[in-house]
Amino acid sequence: MSNLFERSTLRVWFVAAALLGATSCSGGNGGSPPAAASSPHFSSNASIWFHPMPAASLWSSAPPGDLGSTDYAALFAPNNQWPQVAAHTGTFGLYAGWVLAAGDPVLASTVAFLNAHGMGIELEAPALQARATCGSGVEGYVPVHQTVKAVTLAYLSRLQALGAKVTYVKVDEPYFFGSVVADPRACHFPVATVASEVSTYVQIVHEVYPNAVVGDVEPVITGPYVPDVVTALTQWHQAYAAANGAPFPFYIADIDFSNIGWPPLVKSLESATHSAGMRFGIIYIGDPQDTSDAEWTGKVVSRFETYQGSIGGSPDIVLFQSWEYHPKHCLPETSPLTFTGAISRYIAETSP
């Protein structure tokens, strides 16, 4: 819990920067050793999702601090420097706030590149409606002066007009920020209320993209959940299934890596997720305190080698995502110090 709010000025800008200014969770200050010198090999059938963060210069209203990958736009250039990773990446992630804030040329070139390379889009977006007395400024909520429906239709319609293929939407931690977090600004809704609002959000998404698959992402941290994180998240997913008439198709774990016991904890959550009939995903990320791309990417590699190599985790989705100060460079994939370089190593270590 000590690191829960260290990303308060980071991730929320990339979820809905045009709308929010909020607390955020996940990650930590370590919890994993540096990447091993040798490259182990482990099997994986997981789908690879790639979700870097745009440089501040690509926002109409820049996030605070020196955030984002400086070569983000170069990912979509004609002679891009990530052909191997692009060939293995079926889904590319965008933040809903960036879709609203990005200029027309960069958004159009992004969509055109993804379409040309057969990549679907994954969106991360808020689904809860703030009230007059709570929610505004907290991650996962649309502020009270706007509505979930209007905001959702705005970013989806912008993508639709460009011919974008939105295949997945992950709802931004609605249970945690709707019911669990201790932040006094949060609404602390009953679980049934959160489930109902998320179910309504799914219906709004399907008005524009009827085939989009909408799933959940929640933090995996010890302390605030009662009686424990695995039980609480299981009960939350059961409540959503009851409200929606069907379970989430997938759940993605946003892990507090500062907890040295994270690997077996996440393994238990993976089993519970599969038992509930959902696909299980994991976010591989560095830490906000990292001072170099080498430090950040080294932790990413160490974490996937630990979870899938050392303890035999078997996620259905591996999401390489950042909302932090690093990595500054996505390219080229041939460098071990870049974001695509870390993904390239994952591909090499899991190739038959």
Question: Which tens digits make up the pLDDT trace of 145-159?
Answer: 999 999 999 999 999
Amino acid found at 281? G
Mean pLDDT of 51-73: 82
Average pLDDT score over the chain: 90
For residue 226, how many other CB atoms are within 10 A of its CB?
A: 10
How far is Cα 38 from Cα 9, in angstroms, rounded to an integer?
36
Phi then psi dihedrals of residue 66, to 5 deg:
-90, 75
Select from 59, 23, 84 the least CA-distant residue to 350: 84
For residue 12, how many other CB atoms are within 10 A of its CB?
A: 27
Select from 121, 107, 126 the least CA-distant residue to 14: 126
Mean pLDDT of 185-196: 98
Which pLDDT score is estimated for 18?
Answer: 46
Which region among 20-34, 161-175, 283-297 has the lowest average model confidence (pLDDT)?
Answer: 20-34
Domains present along the chain, CATH in parentheses: 11-350 (3.20.20.60)
Which pLDDT score is estimated for 61?
Answer: 67
Which pLDDT score is estimated for 31?
Answer: 43
Structure tokens at 161: 């007009």
How far is Cα 69 from Cα 41, in angstroms, rounded to an integer?
29
Packing angle, helices 191-208 and 229-244, rounded to 10: 50
Amino acid found at 163? G
DSSP H or E stretch at residue 266: helix 262-275
Residue 28 clears pLDDT 60, i.e. is over it: no
Which pLDDT score is estimated for 1?
Answer: 28
Question: Which tens digits make up the pLDDT trace of 63-112?
Answer: 566 788 999 999 999 888 999 999 999 999 999 999 999 999 999 999 99
- The percentage of the chain sitting over the pLDDT mark of 90, rounded to a whole number, equals 82
How far is Cα 104 from Cα 241, in angstroms, rounded to an integer?
38
How far is Cα 246 from Cα 202, in angstroms, rounded to an integer?
12
pTM score, whole prediction:
0.91
Which pLDDT score is estimated for 19?
Answer: 52
Which pLDDT score is estimated for 6?
Answer: 35
Phi then psi dihedrals of residue 169, to 5 deg:
-135, 130
Answer for the pair 344, 85: CB distance below 8 angstroms, yes or no. Answer: yes
Tallying the residues shown for the chain, one arrives at 352
Question: Which tens digits make up the pLDDT trace of 238-296?
Answer: 999 999 999 999 999 999 999 999 999 999 999 999 999 999 999 999 999 999 999 99
How far is Cα 302 from Cα 342, in angstroms, rounded to an integer?
10
Mean pLDDT of 115-141: 97
Which pLDDT score is estimated for 80?
Answer: 85
**Among 20-24, 74-78, 316-320, the range of highest mean pLDDT:** 316-320
Which region among 3-7, 62-66, 327-331 has the lowest average model confidence (pLDDT)?
Answer: 3-7
Which pLDDT score is estimated for 57?
Answer: 79
Q: Which residue has the higher pLDDT, 1 or 216?
A: 216
Packing angle, helices 229-244 and 262-275, rounded to 10: 30
Which region among 12-16, 202-206, 285-289, 301-305 has the lowest average model confidence (pLDDT)?
Answer: 12-16
Which pLDDT score is estimated for 3?
Answer: 33
Residue 16 clears pLDDT 80, i.e. is over it: no
Which pLDDT score is estimated for 21?
Answer: 41
Which pLDDT score is estimated for 40?
Answer: 82
Q: Which residue has the higher pLDDT, 140 or 58?
A: 140
How far is Cα 175 from Cα 196, in angstroms, rounded to an integer?
11
- The percentage of the chain sitting over the pLDDT mark of 70, rounded to a whole number, equals 88
